[in-house]
Amino acid sequence: MPDYEIIAEDTLTSTAASIDLTSIPATFAHLELILSARSTKAAATTTAGTITLNGLTSSIYQSAGIYSLNSSTPSAFTYNYDTRTQVDNAFRIMNDSMPANTYAAAKIVIPNYANTSVTRKCLLIQSSSASDQTSTWWHSVNVGNVTLSAAINQITLIAESATYPFKAGTSYYLAGWS
* pLDDT, mean over the chain: 90
pLDDT band (50, 70, 90) for residue 38:
very high
Q: Strand 18-21 and strand 4-11: pairing?
A: unpaired
Does residue 132 have a pLDDT over 80? no
Residue range 98-125: average pLDDT? Answer: 92
Angle at 149 between CA 85 and CA 77, to 5 degrees: 40
Work out the burial of residue 89: count CB atoms within 10 Å of its CB; fewer than 13 is exposed, 13-18 middle, 19 or more buried: buried
What's the rounded mean pLDDT across residues 15-43?
95
Q: Please report which confidence band the pLDDT of residue 2 belongs to, taking 50, 70 and 90 as the band edges.
A: low
